[in-house]
Amino acid sequence: MPIATPEVYAQMLDAAKDKSFAFPAINVSSSQTLNAALKGFADAGSDGIIQISTGGAEYLSGPSIKNMVTGSVAFAAYAAEVAKHYPVNIALHTDHCPQDKLDGFVRPLIDISAERVARGEAPLFQSHMWDGSAVPLDENLRIAEELLAKCAAARIILEVEIGVVGGEEDGVANEINDQLYTTPEDALATVRALGAGENGRYMTALTFGNVHGVYKPGNVKLRPEILREAQAAVAAELGLEAGSRPFDLVFHGGSGSTAEEIGAAVDFGVVKMNVDTDTQYAFTRPVAAHMFANYDGVLKVDGEVGNKKVYDPRAWGKAGEAGMAERIVEACQNLRSAGTTLSS
């Protein structure tokens, strides 16, 4: 199917909230990992979100170019073409963008989408993330307010991060400490600054102990009840009935989370969960197995010529794509999105 329109994306998020499931948001950095993500969502019968980080966008532009906007535009164009042939809805998103990269990443992409919308076309990306976790909350929300207005005009959803995700991703590192837990006061400040949808739709990444990177289950101390408390505080502020979930929440840093923790987060309003570390390994592990099993074919050992059939990048690339697609099916099952596509 074509890349999701703004209307379809809104329907996707609404369905996730109403039916208590979440979409895996899969980070990709190449055409191979993009194809793997598409296959994974199709195999799961799930709509989904595919996203690129600042580093992924730079990588996609080529090693001698290293331009995040060029890589993003190329990614979106490729995705729009190949996604047509899959029976699921896919939204495109840009992941963590810190303050020092706004002018070289998110702001130019919003401008491109605004130009497209003015011509009667769909925006290039369906959502963008502003990561203001490294700046004071008032500055974070001031920038978010400015970006939200521009995104709304370009028919784009903004994602904001209120709190700090520990660990490291794309060179951005944060300590693992009490700052990893968003407070109800932080949630109230967010809705007072950004509104409850009247100023444009946004998703909110509240932090409840999330940590980027690789961790075994039990090593990360998540407190999903923080999400429930934040939703309750905002619902009361807005005069909504008890049990309402006014925020569209995003779950970052989920590697090593237990099924119970993921389920609780979804029940409290998470509609999008970022998946990167696990799918990177799921892609690379079969590639490593291929290389070890065929070392004398992928290498020209002792003056021999090797075996073109096994060193052809398509041979190990297919193995990597299959492994990553399988992990995405698992993510869809864990987040309850499997079999929920709007097109079914």
Give me the active site residues, please: 95
Tokens in use for 62?
A: 């080529």
Neighbouring residues of 88: CB distance < 8 A, sequence distance ≥ 6: 1, 38, 41, 42, 45, 46, 47, 48, 341, 343
